Amino acid sequence: MTKAVVKIGGKQFVVTEKETLLVDLLPEGTKELTLDALLVIDGDKTTIGTPLVKGVVVKANVVEDLVKGEKIRIIRYKSKKRVHKENGHRQKYSKIEISSIK
Over the stretch 44-82, which tens digit does the pLDDT of each residue have?
999 999 999 999 999 999 999 999 999 999 999 999 999
The total number of structural domains that make up the chain: 1
Q: Is 19 left (phi over 0), alpha (psi -120 to 50) or beta?
A: beta
- Reported as a pLDDT band with limits 50, 70 and 90, residue 1 is confident
CA geometry: angle 63, 66, 5, nearest 5 deg: 55
Residue 62 is part of which domain span?
2-101
pLDDT at 30: 92
Q: How many CB atoms lie within 10 A of CB 40?
A: 19
